Structure formats: C-alpha cells, structure tokens
A and B are shown apart, each in its own frame.
Chain A
Amino acid sequence: MIRFEPRGPVPVSRVLSVLVAAAVAALLLAAIPMAFAGLSVFGAYGLMVKGAFGSMFAFTEMLTRATPLILTGLAAAVAFRAKLWNIGAEGQLYAGAMAAVAVGTGAFGGPSLFLIPLVILAGALAGGLVMLGPTLLKTRLGVDEVVTTLLLNFIILLFVQMMLEGPMKDPMGMGWPQSEPILDEAALPKLMARMRIHWGLIIALVASLGVYFMLKRTVWGFEIRAVGENAAAARHSGIPVTATFVRVGLISGALAGLAGVGEVAGLKGYLTADLSPGFGYSGIVVAMLAGLSPVGVIIAALFIASIFVGADSMSRATGVSNYLADLMVAMSLLCVLVAGLFLRFKIRLVGAPAAKETAK
C-alpha cells in the first residue's frame, strides 16, 4: 500500500528534478505510440531533436513556436495561482488577434512608435475583457468559470469566422476568409533577418519577468496567492477577494490576448480562423509543467515547442501523423500531475493503508 505524508517546504532543486523527471517520463512514454506507428524509436527521437535544434532555422522556428506558448502558459499560470480556472486562453488569444487586426490594418495611421503599442494594448485589452465576463459570472452569480471559458472558446472562434467572412474580410484576399494584412508600421519587427522569429518573444519574456515580480513582490501578488491558497481565510482577513479575481481574470486574459497579437502582428501578418493550433490548451500544459511558476513557464514553453516543432519535422520525414505531438503534450500533462505528488507528499511503501497525518 502506498502512503502519503505531507511534506514541509520543498527545496527548489527537488521541484526542478521532479518536473524534469516528468518531462523525461512523457518523452519515454511516447516511444509506445511511435513503435505502434512502426517507427524506429531512436531514429524518431533523433529526427525530433534535429527538427527542433538541428540548425539555426530549426532553433528559431522552435523559439517562434514557444512565443505564444509562453504567453498562454503565463495566462494559465497566473489564473491557476488564484484558483481561477481559465481554460479559455484559446478564445482570448483570438480576441487579442482580432483586436490587433482591427486597429492595425489601417484604421489608424502613424509611425511604428504609435501603432505597435496601440496594437499590443488593443490585443491585451480584448483578451482581458473576454475573461472579464466569466470572472464576473463566477464572483457575482457563482457560475463555474471552467465551463463558461471553455464554451466561449467555441463562440469566439465562430465569431472570428463570421468577421472573416464579413466585415473583416480582405477584399484582395481572392475569396479566402482572411483579414487584411497588418500595416508594416504596426507589425512587430523580426529579431533576425530571414528568420520568422519576432519581437513577440521579447514581449513574452518581459511578461514572464513582470508576472514573476508581481506575484513575488507586490501587494496584488500577495493577495492573488492568498486567495488561491485559501479564499475563505483571505476573505476573513479583509482581502478583497472579488476584486482580486477580477484583476487576475483581466491579467490572465490580457496575457492570452498578447499571444494572439504576436501571432498576427509578428508572425502571420493577417488573421485566419486557423491562427492557433490549440495554443490556449497547450498553455495549460505549459503552466502545469512549470509548476505555475512564471519563470518556469519559459522553460516549459521551450520544451513543448520543441516537441511540436520536432514532431512536425519528424512527421514530414517519416509520414507519421503529427498528432503524435499533441499526444506527447497530453502525456506530459498527465506525467507532471502524477509527479506533483512527489512534491506535496513523501511517498512511502508501507504495509498499511494511507493515513494522512493532521497536525494536532
């Protein structure tokens, strides 16, 4: 029988090693579907590594893919810290992208110095506002935010399709449902010539540090942590719980919105309804792999991005379905969940049923 005993404070090194172990376990488990698809397992891993790190191009592609994942990962991490279950980063990402397109395709003119901040601000605001609804429904009426944010993802995607076939449709788009391109002055500059990597990455890194700083060193962060760990005690101690949820919701939605800005204004240049291959959902995995730490999100996003880019490349080389990447990401989440037990409890094999100790 397994027995769990609660742990005291956990050293950072242990947290890191457990999380890394989870990631490695997920990679190893992926050997099963690989073998099922008839791949030589070592060859496939080799192709994946080459695909993500094998060249400057591969590496920058991986970083490009990590950019939105850092932001959606942060969106999930900061919300989950307050136990606000925002599963709607996918929808908020599209809202951010739509807002960026709305202000960045010619509605306003001017220099980059004006347009780029405008596009960023609009996207963040749109993402935040989308999350405001579910947050208020939760705090005012007690409506579960998990379901509302999930359902909003579908509604927003349909709304994007509607806009792309209607008011936002590019008249020069040869009938394709896509938006007009973002003005050059409003686009996020590339970081390297001939590569797709763009300033969105810098925004994502700055956002990570910002969220880290906020959680660690500010009153808001203190209140977010208190509400997340024990909302009843926080309320009893005079912390404005509702206001904290609203604040977290706005921040989380804004971060997801920024991911959308990066994708349209940094990478694609215009909006389509297939802008995101599930960055919002992968963000949840990133956040969990990072142990909800804002700085850890960067590393976790790089890991997940390597899987995606590596598996894509491997899939092109071998013809095996690239749903393998999604599968590996999902397995990472399950592995890290189980691994989390090793942080919260000392796990012992004993001849007795689990009896959880309560401090007397």
Chain B
Amino acid sequence: MTAPVQEAALALRLDGITKRFGALTANGDVSLDLRSGEILALLGENGAGKTTLMNILFGHYVADEGQVLVNSGNGSLTELEPGSPHAALEAGIGMVHQHFTLAENLSALDNILLGTQSLATLSTARAPARAKLEDLMARSGLTVSLDARISQLSVGEKQRVEILKALYRDARVLVLDEPTAVLTPQESETLFATLKTLADDGLGIIFISHKLAEVIASSHRVAVLRGGCKVADLPTASCDQRKLAELMVGHEIVETIRTEKEAGRSLFVLKRIFAGQGRDALQDVDLDLKSGEILGIAGVSGNGQTTFAKVISGLEPIVSGEMLLEDQPLTHVDARKMIDIGLARIPEDRHHDGIVGAMSVSENLAIESIRKPENQSFGLLRFAAIRERARSLIKAYDIRCQSEDSPARLLSGGNIQKIVLARTLETMPKVVLAAQPSRGLDVGATSDVHKRLLAARDRGAGVILISEDLDELMRLSDRIAVIHRGKLSEANPTEMLDRSTLGLRMAGHDGEEAA
C-alpha cells in the first residue's frame, strides 16, 4: 500500500519494552513508533511476542522494563500509567482482542456503553449514545444492529462492535489482534477498506498478523517480531512476501509438500445428518471420505464446525441421518466406541478437551486406551507398561518434557498437541478428525502436525481437516468442502478451487459456477 504518512504527529511510542514470564522472555527491548493516520502491521509467527507487546500497551500486563508514551492530544508524549486498561482507554488507545471481549448477555449498545459512565450514575444514558453511534456507523461503514444481543451476532458483526467500542471512546490509536483470523477473504478486504478510511481520518492503527499477503496489501509500515525481539521495521513498499517471510521465521521456509496420490475407496460416510441446535446446528450434512485423502473443511468459525466435530467424536447425538464406516452403519455411538472402531480425534481446544493438565504426560498418553488390556488387568493399572509405552511415544513424537511423570499442563502448546497426536495416531486409526490442529502453534510445531497428518493419509487413512486457515487447507487437502450455517457444500478437488471461490462459499454465496 502506498501513501505513506509523512510528517504526521507521533501518536504512540513504545520505548525499550521488556517482559519476562519466568524463564521465558516474551519481549526483549522492543521499541516502536506509530504516527497518526498510519497503518502499522506487527508481523510475527505464533509465540513471537506480538500479543504480549500489545497487552502491555493496553495495560493487561506490566512491562518489566521500558515504557509506553502516548500523545495525549496536545502534541507532546506523556508516559502511560502501566498496568491499567483504564488509563490506556483514557489516553485514546482502543484494542480489539483476538478473542472478543464482549458480554454475550448484553446488547451491542450496552457492550459499547459499558464503563463509559461513572458507576455512581443513576441512569444509563442510552439515547445520546445511540445518536453518536448512528453517526459513527454512517461515517465508518461499520453497521451493526445496536439492540441485538451479542449472542445473536455473527463473528464479523461482533468484530464491528469491538471496533465501535474503541471509536465511541474517541480512540486515536486502534490495535487489532489477528483481526482476519475469523473472517472470510471478502470480509477481510472490507475490514481493511474500513481501516483505511479510519486512518485517513487521522487514526493510528496497529494490526497484528502472521499473514504476509494482507500485511503487504494493507499496511504503510511493517514491524517484524521474532523470538520476542524486533528484527525489522520497514516501509511496506520496500518489502515483498519472501523477504518478510524470512524476517519472520529467521530462515528459509520449507513448505510441507503434498504428493499427488490416487484416493482409495469410500471409507467414512455421513448421510443427511442433522444434529445440534442453534447457530451451530448441522443441517442435512453429507460427506464421503475416501481412504488415503485429506478432506478439508473450510468455514468461518461458528458455522457448525464444532457440532460437526462433536458428532464425529461421538460426543453429540445425531437427530437424524446415518453414519457409516466401511459400509457398516454406526449406531448408538459415544466417544469410547468411536475410539474403538478406529477413529482418531484431535480436538479443536487442546487445553480444554485434549489433556487433563493435572495428570502426568504418561497418564495423558494412556487416557484413551486406559481400559485396554495393555494398560490394566482386572481393573488394576499396569504402571510399568503405561510408563514404558509413554517413554517410547515421547521419543517417537519428540515430546519435550522433563519426564513422563511431569504434569501435562507444564508443557507448551506444541508439545501438548504432540501428546494428542501420539496417543491418537499411534493406534493406526482408519479415520483422523483434526479440528484446527495448528491453531496457535509456531511454525515448527505446525509443520510437525502437518507431517503427521500427511503420513496418516499416505498410509491409507482418511483425514478430515477442519480449519479456518485457507492456506493450510489448500496446502494439505486433496478435496475441500465449505461449511456455512450448518450446511456442508460438495467437496471439490483443491486444484479446482481458489481463495476467492472458497471465500464466497464461506460467506454463503453458492458458487455453482466455481466448480
């Protein structure tokens, strides 16, 4: 993007920020400037310290060293009180978190109003607020239904509410953490167009991203974080994707290669499945997974993926329809039965559903097969065998932990995912369900997950890959289907699809001509 901002006033300065968590240095001496009217991209892979830095800026964390300076409107920079979101808001900093910070039981209007009046006030001033917001929405194009409960809004609408929260408080600096992670490509474009308008009005904007294309397309300047330190700060015009990628990762990226392979026979079939309720319900879902293929499922989060994964995991009963594995109908399924017939499941939220944090690594490796004869006899646990197997899995899957007896919660996200991969894939499952398997992992761990999934496919398993990351889907999948409002589109070979076609389908536009 061109039109770099020349001598606009400095809106914000981060000066030598250092933040440590125990032994880990999340940010090391990071300095950063932002001018009014500028769009700055903060680029880095997962775990590079981007979110920590922005949380310090917004007062969720306090830096161990360094300070945040803000232009308080009169042109001079003053130090921001550390550790106080209240002070950050007062100083005109607005933040849109990756996980929205909205109260689902309140209306959009009430969420925006929250905290803007003194708590001793005897009445909520909704009418003047509504007038101001109508005006803001008209100018920025960020329209939402103010009286709708947040729980009834779509992801894109929630994000607009978040931005309006900041604008309503007359923010001069807006920070967005991975704003496009949950949007369709088209929605992302609209968002960046809006941000451009806002920047032209003098707002300073920082957006956090690890997607190179959008950084190149939509920022004036890019700062790259790697391992907690700033490694580059350049005008975007002087960069290309390759250069940024190397700066971000620190070495050349080796992409996981999917080799062409003839798909096998029909393995796992869903016929006219209805399940769940509300926004996330499945409506008449058909699926035909072949052996030796990866079938990607694209979609904006909250369109039925969770129910879909739960049904296949045996955690959600189907209302109607049929599930067949190798032509055998599956009835009265539960999690235990699904595991026993050879279905490996990698849950979306690995901390919540994947591991029991307080139990040891070896116990977590055995948990799915704890009733199998190799782990128990007559109801008594076979400790030696459990630990023996754990040690070999730790080795085979390169799980970094102090010992097999360490509590699993002490492991990093990537290693926790390895525990899940090890215990599910080791049983040579016929079908693998991987829900958002690389979410939040760094490049190394992501590539490890991808290799394991491809290996499963190559030995003939059928893999269902649910992801919100189109790049990941297009790299790994043999075929891709799109889920929207609980309906699953036909799966087309990846070669016949492109991002914009998928994006339109994700937004619910039927792409008959796209196939």
Contact = CB atoms under 8 A, between A and B. Distances in A.
B352 A232 contact: yes
17 contacts: A6-B409, A217-B381, A219-B370, A219-B375, A219-B380, A222-B367, A225-B359, A230-B358, A233-B356, A233-B367, A236-B313, A236-B353, A237-B367, A238-B336, A239-B367, A353-B83, A360-B413
Contacts of A221: 381
Contacts of B412: 359-360
A226 B367 CA distance: 8
B381 A236 contact: no
Interface string A193-236: 00000000000000000000000011111110110011011111
A234 B356 CA distance: 7
A277 interface: no
A240 interface: yes
B275 interface: no
Interface string B137-154: 000000000000000000
Contacts of A223: 370
B115 interface: no
Given A219-B376, A233-B355, 13 more contacts: A219-B370, A219-B379, A219-B380, A225-B359, A229-B356, A232-B353, A234-B356, A235-B315, A235-B335, A236-B354, A352-B62, A360-B46, A360-B413
Contacts of A352: 62, 82-83
A8 interface: yes
A9 B375 CA distance: 24
Interface in A328-360: 352-353, 355, 357, 359-360
A234 B370 CA distance: 11
* Size class of the B contact interface (CB-based, 8 Å): 35 or more
A219 B368 CA distance: 12
Contacts of A234: 356, 367
B47 interface: yes
Contacts of A274: none
A239 B336 CA distance: 7
Given A8-B407, A226-B367, A359-B410, A236 B335 contact: yes
B61 interface: yes
Contact of B345 (A229, A236, A353): A236
Given A9-B406, A239-B370, A226 B359 contact: yes
The 3 closest A-B pairs by CB, nearest first: A238-B336, A352-B62, A238-B335
Nearest to A355: B61
Contact of A230 (B22, B334, B355, B368): B355
A357 B21 contact: yes
Nearest to A220: B379
Interface in B334-359: 334-336, 338-340, 345, 347, 352-359
Contact of A233 (B22, B354, B407): B354
B178 interface: no
B211 interface: no
A355 B62 CA distance: 8
Interface in B388-438: 405-407, 409-413
A360 B335 contact: no
Nearest to A213: B380
Contacts of B359: 225-226, 229
Nearest to B47: A360
A221 to B, nearest CB: 8
B387 interface: no
A5 B26 CA distance: 16
B371 interface: yes
Interface of B: 21-22, 24, 26, 46-47, 60-62, 82-83, 313-315, 334-336, 338-340, 345, 347, 352-359, 363, 367-368, 370-371, 375-376, 379-381, 383, 405-407, 409-413
Contacts of B375: 219
B83 A8 contact: no
Contacts of A239: 335-336, 367, 370
Contacts of A5: 22
A219 B413 contact: no
A337 B59 CA distance: 30
Interface in A227-255: 229-230, 232-240
A8 B368 CA distance: 24
A219 B353 contact: no
B339 A238 contact: yes
A359 B413 contact: yes
Contacts of B407: 8-9
A245 to B, nearest CB: 15
A185 B396 CA distance: 63
A261 to B, nearest CB: 26
Contacts of A218: 379-381
A353 B353 contact: no
Nearest to B363: A222
Contacts of A9: 405-407
A318 to B, nearest CB: 46
Nearest to B61: A355
A237 B410 CA distance: 20
B313 A8 contact: no
A229 B370 contact: no
B379 A237 contact: no
Nearest to B46: A360
A236 B354 CA distance: 7
A110 B314 CA distance: 52
Contact of B381 (A222, A229, A235, A360): A222
A237 B413 contact: no
Contacts of B405: 9
A238 B342 CA distance: 13
A359 B335 contact: no
B353 A233 contact: yes
Given A223-B370, A359-B413, A229 B21 contact: no
Contact of A237 (B82, B335, B340): B335
A229 to B, nearest CB: 4
